[in-house]
Amino acid sequence: MGDFNNVVCGEEKMGGNGVRRRRVEEYTSCMNCCNLIDLGFTGPKFAWTNKRDLPSLIQGRLYRVWANLEWKSCFPEAHVKHLARINSNHCPLLLALDNPPIRTGERPFQFQSIWLSHESFPPIVRDAWEGNQQNVRRAINTFTLKAINWNKEEFGNIL
């Protein structure tokens, strides 16, 4: 089971035992005493899961990247991204020290094989084909839009 010693509020954990307020206070007090700031994150909300079905499912943020103000002033564009879980119950974290280059033009659609292993993906395919069986082009366009939006919600748009 995950160690939730660094969860700082109830929204960072779902399922299992509640967040212990005293532990949260001790943890945040230590980080404040050390003058550290949490760099935050983008991507999936929970970086760990026990991979169980409801009602035994537990998920949590679990990981943080801390920095002091001196480090942050050296890397003002630094940001953290929770990447997709692949064959694990943990999300890898990516610490990028600068902003990605600005893309010109629209990014081409790219199917990701990891989608096939996600439980909420089959309805995306089914919904795209419903009512579009006679128009393949419309079905593909509908699927593409639905898959892009779904990917952004589920995986934080890592494409």
pLDDT tens for 11-64 read: 889 898 888 888 888 888 998 999 999 999 998 888 888 989 989 999 988 889
User: pLDDT value at position 1?
Assistant: 44
Is residue 79 a contact partner of residue 39, using CB atoms and an 8 Å limit?
yes
Distance separating alpha carbons of residues 93 and 113, to the nearest angstrom: 20
| Separation in Å, CA 46 to CA 82, 101, 123, 124, 142 | 8, 27, 22, 22, 28
Residue range 109-135, pLDDT digits in tens: 888 878 888 888 899 888 888 888 788
| Separation in Å, CA 154 to CA 21, 75, 106, 111 | 29, 28, 21, 14
Task: Residue count of the chain, please give it.
Answer: 159
User: pLDDT value at position 157?
Assistant: 59
Would you put residue 40 in left (φ > 0), alpha (ψ -120 to 50) or beta? left
Distance separating alpha carbons of residues 65 and 123, to the nearest angstrom: 35
Domains in the chain: ranges and CATH? 1-100 (3.60.10.10), 102-159 (no CATH)
Q: Which residue has the tokens 């480090």?
A: 71
Token pair for residue 143?
């699927």
Assess whether pLDDT exceeds 80 at residue 3.
Answer: no
User: pLDDT value at position 136?
Assistant: 87
Looking at residues 132-158, what average pLDDT do you find?
A: 83
Q: Which residue has the tokens 């089914």?
A: 126
Residue range 59-98, pLDDT digits in tens: 988 889 999 999 988 888 999 999 988 888 999 999 999 8
Would you put residue 14 in left (φ > 0), alpha (ψ -120 to 50) or beta? beta
User: pLDDT value at position 95?
Assistant: 93
Q: CA-based angle 24:52:80, to the nearest 5?
A: 50
Taking the whole predicted model, whether its pTM rises above 0.75 is answered as no
User: pLDDT value at position 6?
Assistant: 75
Phi, psi of 42 (to 5 degrees): -125, 165
